[in-house]
Amino acid sequence: MLRSILLTLSVLCALLAACDGQPREPGSMLAPDSILPIPGSNGCMVSYTLNVTLAYGAPSCFARPIVLTSGVFGPAIAVHQGDTLKITLVNNLPVAFPSVTDGISIHYHGLQMAGSAAYFDGMAYVSLCPVAPGKSYTYQFLVNDPPGTYLWHDHSAGFKGDGLEGPLIVYPPRLPGAPPAFPPLAVSDLWSYDGEHTLLLTDWYHASTNSLLFQLNMPFDAARVTNDTGAWSWIGMPQAILINGRGFYGDCQLFPGSGGNSAPPTCMPSTFTVPPGRSPAQPWASNNNPGCTHSQFTVEPGKTFRLRLVNAATLVFMTICFEGHNVTLIAADAIPTAPISTRCLDLNSGQRLDVLLTADQPPANYWITVAPQYRIGAPAGYAVLNYKGVNTSTFPSSPPPQPVNITPWGFAEDSLVRLSPRLLTASSDLAVNLYLSPGEATLAPPPVPTKIVLVNLSQPLLEANGQLRWALNNVAMTRNPPCVSLLSKMQKYPKFLKQMAVNASTVNGTGAGPFVGISYVKAKDKMTVYYDGISPAPLYPSVGLHLVENAGGEVVDVVVNNFPANSFNGDYRPVVGPTRTAVEQHPMHLHGHRFWVLGRGSGAFNASAHAAGLNTVNPPYRDTVTVTGGGWVYLRFKADNPGIWPFHCHLLPHVFMGQQLYFVEDIANAAPPPSKVPKCPATCQYNFAPYTKAFLRSKWGMSGWELPPLY
Ligand SMILES: *[C@@H]1O[C@H](CO)[C@@H](O)[C@H](O)[C@H]1NC(C)=O
Ligand SMILES: *[C@@H]1O[C@H](CO)[C@@H](O)[C@H](O)[C@H]1NC(C)=O
Ligand SMILES: *[C@@H]1O[C@H](CO)[C@@H](O)[C@H](O)[C@H]1NC(C)=O
Ligand SMILES: *[C@@H]1O[C@H](CO)[C@@H](O)[C@H](O)[C@H]1NC(C)=O
Ligand SMILES: *[C@@H]1O[C@H](CO)[C@@H](O)[C@H](O)[C@H]1NC(C)=O
Ligand SMILES: *[C@@H]1O[C@H](CO)[C@@H](O)[C@H](O)[C@H]1NC(C)=O
Ligand SMILES: *[C@@H]1O[C@H](CO)[C@@H](O)[C@H](O)[C@H]1NC(C)=O
Ligand SMILES: *[C@@H]1O[C@H](CO)[C@@H](O)[C@H](O)[C@H]1NC(C)=O
Ligand SMILES: [Cu+2]
């Protein structure tokens, strides 16, 4: 009887979802297809269809092809802790829309993806092959992660930058015996608040992301450029910052091209909604403005709101500021922090922050400003905090904050982000225990590591082909012929690749061509493998599959040093090479885990100078951390999750340029692959492919090299 009532409720949900034919707000919550009770569990099976299509849209006021998910630009999805998430990904992108990976694949950023879920982690060709145009695939896994704010996004190559991403919210567990409801009924969490808003923060280009990525594979070395290759070209500054899919590129002065400007832009948003047809004198504008608007977030006076802030950018590090209000930081990457009251907060790409905002100021409209950092010339984004009852179509009366006046946090402010003390002592409080895994009494880090992995970042120029890459320990990751799931392959042959790997120290990457270690699994499965920690780093910049093995139960410390571009023989050009000493910041993200951030600093990590200052008491427990330009970061994690877990920079062009390695963890205990997997293509493109004009034209016709032709 109860069961049939529950089923009726979920059928009702399905009908509501299907009948909802109205255009949906960008960033709004997708209605699940169904929410079905799971007998014997408080959790439900929450099913979504992500129907991925190509459309025209103008999130920034400029029309271009954009990717929609079930008709929505950047929708949010939600589950409760203990639910099973069932995602049917339907790839309805046209075959002719260029893709460096020949398909799409969804990653659930921040979730641990334990057990068989490791296959659904979503990095194309690492966990499973991507879903080709015209195909679909269903991911299904238990979500037992802490309640909080996460992110789902395409992890094939470029489609994230075209809109294939959105917030992923994990609510506390469902109330025992409660019907499968949406929105949620849940046991209480650590905080109470009256309402919530989610702010998806993205940077936005007026060209498709894949068309920008192609050019990163062209020779950087001018001597190697041919008519057919064209020259390397950086993706440059975004044309807008979007907040929940909305903004206007005309708000800020734009600096087209790959940079060179040294002035922060002047920003002057003037109208809340930009009517169609307006054509500001910007090189980007053409005459194509179908109209656009800014996001606003309404709060009731006297009430407290939880704001879920998600930086889902391709490139931009952001500082978000709330005019007239201090907000209280309560969680970073879903894990509760000691509270910090502040007006501005830093979020790098891939990071999420949860804050509480109390509407205790005179009713008015207030600026929410998203300022870019470390990329001078990038525009800012603006939204409005609206007190209920105040005119919703006007901007605040004060002048808009300028990005030049908004500075990022330094190490001192950053070190105030610490684990909540409530998670550092054993407790019987259910709200506290929602954040712990079975068997864990507190979230304190283990006191000592069993191994230390040293990772040196540099930006080499490869002598073999003149490509510019990002390398870890002098190896830039290829991803990835062969066209197989690396996890399936390794799970089947746990020792095989290691037996076949060549000692990298015997290979002079520069002299012998760009590859380190050549293995043959089968002729068609040719893999180039570098086992870090078994071989010393190659002396010259090299290319390969960069693997680090973790035994089950190890406590792994990762020390990342961020060296100048040309370090480690990183540039072969006698005169030009030595001057290529630039450094930049990188948001390093680890799949399958959270890590404790024990310390950060400038220069290279030096144990005798820095080890004593590491915070092993209450460090933040996150999944994405910034290593500053020319700085270091010291991380610790427990190797308790059998699988293959990428550790990579979360800037899309950097990961494409090879800034990643994979932890191969306790592979003998990895679950077998699911019975149904997406079909791998016969041949696949990869991040070293020579996307020459001739190649692109032959594969995708005019839409290849010539993109963006469509405005
Ligand atoms: C996906 O969306 C397209 C365009 O709206 C529609 O034609 C198609 O039927 C949808 N497919 C699924 C599986 O929902
Ligand atoms: C390259 O292009 C230029 C300009 O279009 C042309 O003058 C030149 O002959 C071309 N070179 C080759 C080798 O095709
Ligand atoms: C916000 O915090 C700053 C310092 O932390 C303080 O000076 C200021 O008065 C606070 N503002 C409000 C509105 O609470
Ligand atoms: C709200 O502001 C808009 C734009 O300034 C104005 O046109 C409109 O009349 C205002 N509405 C009210 C109710 O004051
Ligand atoms: C990283 O760089 C340091 C300093 O140059 C060097 O001592 C160390 O051997 C390098 N580590 C690896 C793995 O390349
Ligand atoms: C590696 O190759 C480079 C360039 O060919 C050469 O200068 C260097 O001496 C070689 N190093 C070793 C250790 O063979
Ligand atoms: C790789 O070569 C280096 C240098 O010759 C040597 O020290 C190391 O033991 C070798 N590693 C393996 C696994 O053979
Ligand atoms: C490391 O720190 C120690 C102690 O401060 C110092 O003596 C040493 O020179 C440093 N090493 C390097 C390579 O900077
Ligand atoms: Cu990076």
Per-residue DSSP letters for 279-332? --S-TT-TT----EE--EEEE-TT-EEEEEEEE--SS-EEEEEETT--EEEEEE
What pLDDT score does 479 carry? 63
**Residue to mutate, 322, 327, 341, 409, ligand 3, most ligand atoms under 8 Å from C-beta:** 341
DSSP at 224: G
Residues 384-408 have a mean pLDDT of 96
Question: Residue 561: which CATH number?
Answer: 2.60.40.420
Q: 200 with 167: CB under 8 angstroms?
A: yes
Does residue 510 line the site of ligand 6, with CB under 6 A?
A: yes
Please name which of 365, 375, 167 lies closest in space to residue 269, comparing C-alpha atoms.
365
Q: Is residue 432 part of a domain?
A: no
| Residues with a CB atom less than 6 Å from ligand 7 | 503, 505, 534-536
Which position has the token pair 């909305």?
A: 246
Does residue 572 line the site of ligand 6, with CB under 6 A?
A: no
Residue 608 has pLDDT above 60, yes or no: yes
Identity at 499, one-letter amino acid code = Q
pLDDT in tens, 460-516: 998 888 999 999 999 898 765 568 899 998 899 887 666 666 656 665 554 334 444
Q: Give the ligand whose atoms come closest to the C-alpha of residue 357.
A: 3
How would residue 607 be classed by pLDDT, with cut points 50, 70 and 90? very high
The atom number, within ligand 6, closest to the CA of 540 reads 1
Q: Whose CA is nearest to atom 12 of ligand 5?
A: 473
What pLDDT score does 687 carry? 73
How would residue 335 be classed by pLDDT, with cut points 50, 70 and 90? very high
384 lies in the same domain as 525:
no
The atom number, within ligand 1, closest to the CA of 51 reads 1
| Rounded Cα distance, 35 and 83, in Å | 10
User: Sheet containing 296-299: which strands, arranged edge to edge?
Assistant: 296-299, 381-387, 365-373, 317-322, 344-347
Q: Please give the backbone phi and psi of residue 514, each rounded to the nearest 5 degrees, phi first.
A: -75, -5
| Rounded Cα distance, 161 and 461, in Å | 26
Higher pLDDT, residue 300 or 230:
300
| Rounded Cα distance, 537 and 531, in Å | 9
35 lies in the same domain as 159:
yes
pLDDT in tens, 27-78: 899 999 999 999 988 899 999 999 999 998 899 998 888 999 999 999 999 9
Q: Is residue 147 part of a domain?
A: yes
| Residues with a CB atom less than 6 Å from ligand 1 | 49, 51, 53, 90, 92
d(CA 334, ligand 3 centre) in Å: 25
659: containing domain:
449-685
d(CA 457, ligand 9 centre) in Å: 9
Q: Give the ligand whose atoms come closest to the C-alpha of residue 340.
A: 3
Residue 124 has pLDDT above 60, yes or no: yes
Token readout for 361 is: 């100021």
d(CA 180, ligand 8 centre) in Å: 59
456 lies in the same domain as 419:
no
Strands (E), 17-103: 34-37, 44-57, 64-69, 77-80, 84-91
Token readout for 228 is: 């057919």
Q: Is residue 276 part of a domain?
A: no
370 lies in the same domain as 325:
yes
| Rounded Cα distance, 151 and 166, in Å | 6
Q: Is residue 436 part of a domain?
A: no
Identity at 690, one-letter amino acid code = P
Q: Is residue 315 part of a domain?
A: yes
d(CA 701, ligand 2 centre) in Å: 21
Q: Give the ligand whose atoms come closest to the C-alpha of residue 226.
A: 2
Nearby residues for ligand 9 (ion, Cβ within 5 Å) = 586, 649, 651, 654
What pLDDT score does 14 carry? 33
| Residues with a CB atom less than 6 Å from ligand 4 | 391, 393-394
| Rounded Cα distance, 457 and 184, in Å | 43
Q: Whose CA is nearest to atom 11 of ligand 6?
A: 508
Token readout for 529 is: 């493998």
What pLDDT score does 515 carry? 47
The residues with which 699 forms a beta bridge, in sequence order, are none
499 lies in the same domain as 399:
no
Strands (E), 333-380: 335-342, 344-347, 352-358, 365-373
What pLDDT score does 281 carry? 58
What pLDDT score does 498 carry? 67
Domain count across the chain: 3
| Rounded Cα distance, 377 and 383, in Å | 20
**Residue to mutate, 456, 608, 610, ligand 8, most ligand atoms under 8 Å from C-beta:** 608
Task: Produce one character per residue of 310-343: b if its CB has 16 or more CB atoms within 10 Å, e if not.
Answer: bbbbbbbbbbbbbbebebbbbbbbbbbbbebebe
Burial level of 665, CB count in 10 A (0-12/13-18/19+)?
A: buried
Helix-strand-coil split of the chain, %, nearest 5? 15, 35, 55
Token readout for 58 is: 């103008």
The atom number, within ligand 4, closest to the CA of 392 reads 1
Residues 442-470 have a mean pLDDT of 94
Q: Is residue 209 part of a domain?
A: no
- Three-state SS for 174? strand
| Rounded Cα distance, 467 and 489, in Å | 29
459 lies in the same domain as 515:
yes
Q: 468 with 657: CB under 8 angstroms?
A: yes
418 lies in the same domain as 463:
no
Residue 391 has pLDDT above 80, yes or no: yes
| Rounded Cα distance, 476 and 657, in Å | 7
Residue 445, CA atoms < 13 Å, CB-side half-sphere: 28
466 lies in the same domain as 582:
yes
Predicted structure pTM score: 0.93
pLDDT in tens, 653-700: 999 999 999 999 999 999 999 999 999 988 777 777 778 888 888 887
The atom number, within ligand 3, closest to the CA of 325 reads 13
**Residue to mutate, 393, 395, 397, ligand 4, most ligand atoms under 8 Å from C-beta:** 393
The atom number, within ligand 5, closest to the CA of 474 reads 14
Q: Give the ligand whose atoms come closest to the C-alpha of residue 572.
A: 6
What pLDDT score does 664 carry? 94
Secondary structure of 129-170 in HEC code, one letter for each residue:
CCECCCCEEEEEEECCCCCEEEEEEECCCCHHHHCCEEEEEE
384 lies in the same domain as 341:
yes
- Three-state SS for 611? helix
What is the β-pairing status of strands 136-142 and 84-91? Answer: antiparallel
What is the β-pairing status of strands 526-531 and 542-550? Answer: parallel
- Compute CA distances 91 → 55, 133, 317, 696, whole Å: 13, 5, 30, 21
366 lies in the same domain as 493:
no
d(CA 342, ligand 3 centre) in Å: 7
550 lies in the same domain as 591:
yes
How would residue 261 be classed by pLDDT, with cut points 50, 70 and 90? low
With a CB cutoff of 8 Å and minimum separation 6, the contacts of 300 are 194, 195, 359, 387, 388
Task: Produce one character per residue of 640-662: b if its CB has 16 or more CB atoms within 10 Å, e if not.
Answer: bbbbbbbbbbbbbbbbbbbbbbb
DSSP at 675: S
Please name which of 239, 291, 233 lies closest in space to residue 265, comparing C-alpha atoms.
239
453 lies in the same domain as 328:
no
| % of the chain at pLDDT higher than 70 | 87
d(CA 646, ligand 5 centre) in Å: 21
d(CA 565, ligand 9 centre) in Å: 12
Residues 122-151 have a mean pLDDT of 96
| Chain mean pLDDT for the chain | 88
Does residue 233 line the site of ligand 5, with CB under 6 A?
A: no
| Rounded Cα distance, 226 and 235, in Å | 20
CB neighbourhood size of 89 (10 A): 25
Q: 217 with 211: CB under 8 angstroms?
A: no
Q: Whose CA is nearest to atom 10 of ligand 3?
A: 326
- Three-state SS for 446? coil
Q: Whose CA is nearest to atom 4 of ligand 3?
A: 342
Q: Is residue 435 part of a domain?
A: no
d(CA 696, ligand 8 centre) in Å: 51
- Three-state SS for 209? helix
With a CB cutoff of 8 Å and minimum separation 6, the contacts of 706 are none
Residue count of the chain, please give it. Answer: 711
d(CA 628, ligand 3 centre) in Å: 28
Q: Whose CA is nearest to atom 9 of ligand 3?
A: 326
Q: Is residue 58 part of a domain?
A: yes
Segment holding 697, helix H or strand E? helix 693-700
Segment holding 13, helix H or strand E? helix 2-19
Please state which of the ranges 322-331, 526-535, 563-572 shows the lowest mean pLDDT.
Answer: 526-535
| Rounded Cα distance, 368 and 297, in Å | 9
